[in-house]
Amino acid sequence: MVGISIIIPTRNEADNIDPLMQRLLRVVLPVDVEREIVFIDDSSSDATRERIRAWSGRAAVRLICRDNDGCLASAVVAGAGAAAHELAVVMDADLSHPPESIPDLLQPLLDGTHEMVIGSRYVEGGSIPQWPLARKIASRLAGLPARLFTAVNDPMAGFFAVSRQRLARTRPDVPGFKIGFELLATAEDEVRVCEVPIVFRDRFEGFSKMNKQIIFDYLKQLVHLAGGGTPRSMSWRFGLTVGCSAALDWLIFAVLLHLGLKPETAHLVALAGASVATMTGLALLRANGSHVAVSAGRWLPVALVSMIWAIGMQGAVFEHVEPRIWAGPLTAFLPAAVIGSICFVLPMSIVWSAGIGRMAQGVRLRFGIVGAVSAVLLLRLVYLGLPELMEQEAYYWVYAQHPSLSYLDHPPLVTLLIWLGTALFGTSEFGVRIGAFVCWFVTAFFVHRLTSRICGRRAALGALLLVGILPFYFGIGLTMTPDAPLHAAWAALLYFLYRVLVENRSDAWLGVGFSLGLGLLSKYTVVLLGPAACCFMLIDRRARRWFVRGEPLGALLLALVLFLPVLLWNYQHDWASFLFQSHDRLADKPFFTTDRLLGYVAVNLTPAGLVGLFLFWTRGRLLLAAVDEPETARSDGQGAMRSRYLFLWLMVTLPFVVFLFFSLTREVKLNWTSPLWLAVLPLLGAIVAAPSPVGATGRFMTGLQRLWHYTAMVLVVVYAIGLHYVVLGLPSLPHPSRPFLSGWQEFARQIEEIVDTVAAETGRRPLVVGMDPYQISSGLAFYRSKNAAGTTDSSRRRLVEETVGWHLFTWDGLMYEYWTDPQEAVGRDILVVASSRIRVEFPYFRNRMVGMGAIHELPVTKDGQVLRTMYYRLLQGYRLEL
């Protein structure tokens, strides 16, 4: 006969014993399941023991008395050792854990489907009704470090069921009280875990045991599970290592500066030398015979990637600090050296101190994924405001200087984000781009949520890695274009459509309406998900009911309300934007670009992603079944495997077919298909984060997983080197002239000096016209305004209004045609600026200008290097064509 032992540790819980026992005895267990209740009391000073003994004659109740200072976790282990039955349920005595949920915890163990069941506050149906918002947030934040060791939603739960033998084998010196977390972290790869929802309530009587010591014990437990010593010993060892590395880094930098090297080159050599010395010293200190030789293949790649990442981080910090410190580069390099050393020592400390060879594979994988995502996130953050704007970013900034319901090229959401960013952080590259940085988090959030519902939490972590490292997704979080809000809205729309169509959640239609509306305010291509959703509703029997329900119509109306500004602008301007994105593109000269489209897919997904995409289209359903996580509890509303795969397949394939068909006769662009692959990420994430070979093709899948791991390391290196090259350059390589407007702040200052000189000589300020559709005018408008940051708003506004487009000479000027009427320029002098000499030699100027000055060259430079040569010419007396 099967039996359970309910293990309850106590300390001063006298007032809670009677109501707890009454509720426990009312619990109806499955037939033929015996029960006993084991109390382990640690030095109670009230009547707890007497109350427990009073129940011993009425039920199978035992009391174990301990009069030492043992922790709560050791009391649970002691109770497991004394228990009589095969299964154990651990719970608190303060009535925060509902005894009525015990049958739900037991059933998966009795069925043999799982080895551990957790009463969870954080799965669907679970709640913490009496907690204020601040406490809920604090609880979530406290649980974040535990997510490195386990994939469950509530790793800190103290209410769980498990076999008595497994519980008794747990080390008795677990610090603090999170013994359930200890079980998960030390044996997760071999334990099938599920979570059942519970309503967690605050203790009925008595006082909470949460204090500073408990928090310290929790930190100590995390450090122990990571393979380190105590938090205090790890702190001083880490600090000493960082201090020595930073001191050596600074010393080498000082010597190289004395020898005449440029700071940008000296810091590269200094950190590389300090890193090699630090790595060698750590290896010698930790060497223990063959262990170092065996593990070298693991830590050497990490060391190389960490060193290059640290170089990128150090260079960015130095670039931020040096202009703000007047004491010279040696003083400015001090914080940069510290940051660079931390960035190198921290990953190496995790690899060595964590005992990477002793970690379970799943835990080791999570450490790697979180490390890679954190690396690219920090890299993006420190470089966010350093590279000059791209031409497109400057153009969208000019959008924000001309507020409107919408614009010719794109809807207005990108404008709103830039306006908010620059309102908070001023006219700066950081202010322009901060909106894109936030949009990446929204994209990552919804991709993680979607993947966790389709493939489980482990796969969701893998999908998060891909959102962080894949080239285009990395780029949309660094540069401000309409693609940044589009990807955020696309990911949200996928998530809410899944909740509606597969899980049949009617309340998710509100999210569908909001995300569709915001997507339409970003880019019109989001409408491609509409036909895919309709096809799913036609194919899937359960989803057909939405054709006759009112919620889809409500969602559509909400989206149209949000989209109303764009509709009004187009109505006022003869539907110009819609025609620009449809008729005008179709009117272009036909040519075949399918080969280019496939090349763009390869750039977006990398070779590893191309293999995954092929598997998605050919073996997707079988692969989804193979990588599915049976230990992840699913809600009753979640669809079957077929529906999940059909949803993803349609959301990818139908939009891609549209672009594929378009590419047969028209030009396609790199960014067009990038949102489509958000629906592939759940399956790719499952492959990346799979803890072991998958299915019958285990060897192939293991190879593909390794390819992803190497791809991640290579991409981190490429991003660190690339951003360093764009901002600080690299030895023996000239600064790039594009795609960023490198050197344009100084170039704009020189143009402004020319304008001031002309104004002083003639008494009239000339207009500045960039001789291309928008690029030169937008770049000059932004950097002229940025250089005038100390002046009044009206002065900066005048600089924007004085920088106009070449539509004055009847060429297509896009939105500049709406911002400046040629009638307003009549009689004005014009300074034309071009990237090629021929564009300022146009004989056509004779029909528009009274007089023309000489052509002059003006180099664009950065750090003394000439990046490109620009040409300018002063034209007198603009007039309309005769």
Q: What is the CA radius of gyration of the chain?
A: 32
Q: What is the DSSP string of 651-665?
A: HHHHHHHHHHHHHTT
d(CA 493, CA 509): 10
Q: Angle at the Cα of 191 (from 189 to 194), degrees rounded to 5?
A: 120
Helix (H) or strand (E) holding 161: strand 160-163
Comparing 120 with 133, the larger pLDDT belongs to 120
d(CA 93, CA 81): 19
Pairwise CA distance, residues 185 & 157, whole Å: 13
pLDDT, average across residues 146-168: 79
Read off the tokens for 663. Answer: 């590419």
Spatial distance between the Cα atoms of 505 and 636, rounded to a whole number of angstroms: 11
Q: What share of the chain is helix, strand, coil (3-state, %, to 5)?
A: 60, 10, 30
The 10s digit of each residue's pLDDT in 308-319 is: 999 999 999 999
Residue 640: per-residue pLDDT: 73
Q: Tell whether the model's pLDDT for residue 190 goes beyond 70.
A: no
Q: Are 647 and 682 in contact (CB under 8 A)?
A: no
pLDDT for 123 beyond 90 = no
Tally of residues, the chain: 882
Dihedral angle sign, alpha carbons of residues 642, 462, 414, 483: negative
Q: Which pLDDT belongs to residue 808?
A: 92
Mean per-residue pLDDT, 122-143 = 74
Task: Give the mean pLDDT of 427-454.
Answer: 95
Q: Give the SS3 label for residue 155.
A: coil
Tell me what pLDDT residue 171 has: 65
Backbone angles phi, psi at 815, to 5 degrees: -70, -20
Could you tell me the pTM of the whole model? 0.86
- Residue 220 confidence (pLDDT) above 70: no
% of residues, the chain, pLDDT over 70: 86
Q: How confident is the model at residue 289 (pLDDT cuts 50, 70, 90)?
A: very low
CA distance 389 to 432: 9
Q: What is the DSSP letter of 827?
A: T
What is d(CA 216, CA 510) in angstroms, rounded to the nearest whole number? Answer: 43
Give the Å distances, CA to CA, from 713 to 306, 312, 373, 628.
9, 14, 11, 26
3-state secondary structure of 42: strand
- Which of 352, 141, 358, 356 is closest to 234 using CA atoms? 352
Cα 109 to the chain's mean position, in Å? Answer: 36
**Residue with structure tokens 């020189």?**
750
Residue 348's pLDDT band (boundaries 50, 70, 90)? confident
The predicted structure's pLDDT at residue 233: 55
| pLDDT for position 842 | 83
Report strand pairing: 2-10 vs 830-834: unpaired
Instruction: Give the mean model confidence (pLDDT) for residues 751-755.
Output: 95
Per the model's pLDDT, the better-predicted residue between 783 and 32 turns out to be 783
Q: Pick the residue with more confidence: 4 or 620? A: 4
Q: Strand 33-42 and strand 2-10: pairing?
A: parallel
What residues have CB less than 8 Å from 484, skipping those under 6 apart? 414, 417, 435, 436, 439, 440, 476, 477
- The answer, yes or no, to whether residue 460 has pLDDT greater than 80, is yes
Q: Are 375 and 309 in contact (CB under 8 A)?
A: yes
* 43's tokens: 């030095």
224 has a pLDDT exceeding 70: no
pLDDT tens digit string along 820-872?
Answer: 999 999 999 999 999 999 999 988 788 888 899 999 999 999 988 899 999 99
Closest to 310 in 3D by CA, of 286, 281, 342, 274: 342
Q: Report whether pLDDT(663) > 50.
A: yes
296: left (phi over 0), alpha (psi -120 to 50) or beta: alpha
Q: How far apart, in whole angstroms, are the C-alpha atoms of residue 592 and residue 662? A: 9
792: left (phi over 0), alpha (psi -120 to 50) or beta: beta
Q: Which residue, chain included where needed, has tokens 């020595």?
A: 244
pLDDT of residue 639: 47
Instruction: Flag whether pLDDT at 739 surpasses 80.
Output: yes
Confidence of residue 359 (pLDDT cuts 50, 70, 90): low
Asked whether 733 and 722 are in contact (CB, 8 A), the reply is no
Inter-residue contact 802 to 830 (CB < 8 Å): no
Segment among 71-80, 144-153, 731-740, 761-770 with least mean pLDDT: 144-153
Q: Which two tokens stand for residue 655?
A: 């939009």
H helix or E strand, kind and range, residue 854: strand 849-862
* Average pLDDT value for the chain: 85
Query: What is the domain partition of the chain in residue ranges?
Result: 2-225, 233-359, 388-714, 744-878
Task: Determine the pLDDT at residue 277.
Answer: 87
pLDDT band at 158 (very low <50, low <70, confident <90, very high): confident
Q: What is the DSSP letter of 29?
A: P
* Structure token pair of residue 490: 């696309």
Q: Tens of pLDDT along 681-692?
A: 999 998 888 765
DSSP string, 319-338: HHHGGG-TT-HHHHHHHHHH
Give me the sign of the Cα torsion angle 839, 840, 841, 842. Answer: positive
φ, ψ of residue 728 in degrees (nearest 5) = -105, -10
pLDDT over threshold 90, residue 538: yes
For residues 365 and 332, the answer to whether their CB atoms sit within 8 Å is: no
- Tell me: the pLDDT tens digits for 225-279? 555 555 555 567 778 888 888 999 999 999 998 898 888 889 999 998 888 888 7
Whole-Å CA distances, 825 to 225, 259, 802, 814, 822: 72, 56, 10, 18, 5
Q: Which residues of 655-688 are buried (b: 16+ CB within 10 A; e: fewer)?
A: bbebbeebbeebebebbbbbbbbbbbbbbbbbbb
Q: List the structure tokens of 616.
A: 């998605």
Averaged pLDDT for residues 280-292: 57
The DSSP output letter for 803 is E
Structure tokens at 677: 């692959």
Mean pLDDT of 370-377: 90
The per-residue DSSP string of 344-413 comes to HHHHHHHHHHTTTTTS-HHHHHHHHHHHHHHHHHHHHHHHTTSSPPBHHHHHHHHHHHS--S--SSS-SH
Higher pLDDT pick, 159 / 492: 492
Q: Which CATH class is domain 2-225?
A: alpha beta
- What proportion of the chain, given as a percentage, has pLDDT over 90? 46
Average pLDDT on 668-673 reads 88
Q: Please report, as a single letter, which amino acid is at residue 867.
A: L
More confident of the two residues 247 and 177: 247
Predicted confidence (pLDDT) per residue in 33-88, tens digit? 888 999 988 888 888 889 988 888 788 888 888 887 666 777 888 888 888 888 99
Helix locations, 56-211, DSSP H? 72-82, 102-111, 133-143, 164-168, 179-187
- Which residue type is seen at 589? K
For strand 193-197 and strand 803-804, is the pairing parallel, antiparallel, or unpaired?
unpaired
The position carrying tokens 């506050």 is 121
